[in-house]
Chain A
Amino acid sequence: MSDPRKPSELEDLDARLAAARAEQRALSGSERESEGERASAHGWAWRVAIEMVVAVAVGGAVGWYLDRWLGTLPLFLILLFFLGAGAGVNNVVRAAKEMNRAAAEEDARVGGATAPPDKETDGTGGNQRT
């Protein structure tokens, strides 16, 4: 009894779902997109900033303790401060690479039709070490 009705009901639901989704996307799609982007941008900003600061701080701290231990005060402090800064930049570059990769994947998932043109070219072009 319900067999002939079921497919049509499902089709009906399908159509209504598609219509509702399209409407939703048209209404608040861009708004919600930016909301999510802002949250993840906040996360990335924290990540990059802390990566940089912590690397310099750890480098400096290790250098200072080495100096106090060996009695060579400014030597390792200065050396490891700059090496720590280098490590921080290294970690930031790595994080930026991951961001690029994630953005490229996101674009691929969203689909070619709406992909912004600037994301296609960025890749990791500038990050390769020479």
Chain B
Amino acid sequence: MATNEHSPLAQFEIVRKIEINLGGLDASFTNSSAWMVGIVVAITLFLTYAMSGRAMVPGRMQSLAEISYEFIANMIRDNVGTEGRRYFPFIFTLFMFILFANLGGMLPYSFTVTSHIIVTFALAAVVLTGVTVIGFIKNGVGFLRLFVPSGVPAALLPLLVVIEVISYFVRPVSLSVRLFANMMAGHTMFKVFGGFVIALSWWGGWAPLLFMVALTGLEIGIAMLQAYVFTILSCLYLKDALHPAH
């Protein structure tokens, strides 16, 4: 694909930094991998630095860390219940990873990890596989009650079971498409309007420039909102696994 440097899609290009070939499998360390490592390092540094003071009255950084913690803890309590508490580490990691990936993508010259569907789909697949396994461990075969809606006439039951099964398997796709589409659309729009600023130069470039300022605010909001949506939906799917009865 001959994307030149100024194409709005050039920002999504994967570049191999270190070529690794595992028996015909391309496992190269790419710019995407580098950003993911960077995100994990940034989260670790942020949380350890913010909590290093352990003050009774938190400062700014400690407040940020505590707000993130309480936000996810409340989300799990409200949406999953008290038995969801043991899954807190996973949900919190998921939220922080997506949040930092989305917000990191807002930095100039950065690469947005979550604008690639394979990344978001991998995240969603891990969530849905994990939730399914938890459902079978907690409820055994009773987990399959999730696919049988209650109070349905027997004649309609086969059709509805098929529909329920399909909607269950559609979940990882819709979960990943939502995050990826939001991120990719927003960042493409940035580059397109950035191109307008240059193309219209002195006399007309101000209008798209003003629009981009507004768009930046909106995109930061979307970055946080989509991290929230991904996490809360994971919580709701976890609740389904713990209480499969309709």
Contacts and interface: CB of A to CB of B under 8 A. Distances in A.
Contacts of B228: 43
A48 to B, nearest CB: 10
Interface residue tally of chain A, by bracket? 20 to 34
A53 to B, nearest CB: 8
Interface residues of B, number: 27
Interface stretch (B18-26, B128-136, B160-168): B160-168
A44 to B, nearest CB: 9
Given A43-B228, A43-B229, A46-B178, A90 B164 contact: yes
Interface in A32-47: 39-40, 42-43, 46-47
B170 A55 contact: yes
A59 B173 CA distance: 11
A87 B166 contact: yes
A83 B170 contact: no
> Interface SS of chain A: helix, strand, loop or mixed?
helix
Contact of A83 (B162, B221, B225): B162
B98 to A, nearest CB: 14
Contact of A47 (B159, B166, B229): B229
B66 interface: no
B78 A87 contact: no
Given A39-B221, A98-B236, A129-B152, A51 B163 contact: no
A39 B229 CA distance: 11
A50 B167 contact: no
A109 B236 CA distance: 20
Interface in A51-74: 51, 54-55, 58-59
A55 B169 CA distance: 9
Contacts of A51: 170, 174
Contact of B173 (A46, A54, A83): A54
29 contacts: A39-B221, A39-B225, A40-B225, A42-B225, A47-B233, A50-B174, A50-B177, A50-B178, A50-B181, A51-B174, A54-B174, A58-B173, A59-B170, A83-B162, A83-B166, A84-B166, A86-B159, A86-B163, A86-B166, A87-B166, A87-B170, A88-B170, A90-B163, A90-B164, A91-B167, A91-B170, A91-B171, A129-B151, A130-B151
Interface of B: 78, 149, 151-152, 159, 162-164, 166-167, 169-171, 173-174, 177-178, 181-182, 221-222, 225-226, 228-229, 233, 236
Enumerate the 3 nearest inter-chain pairs by beta-carbon distance, A residue then B residue, closest first. Answer: A87-B167, A87-B166, A54-B174
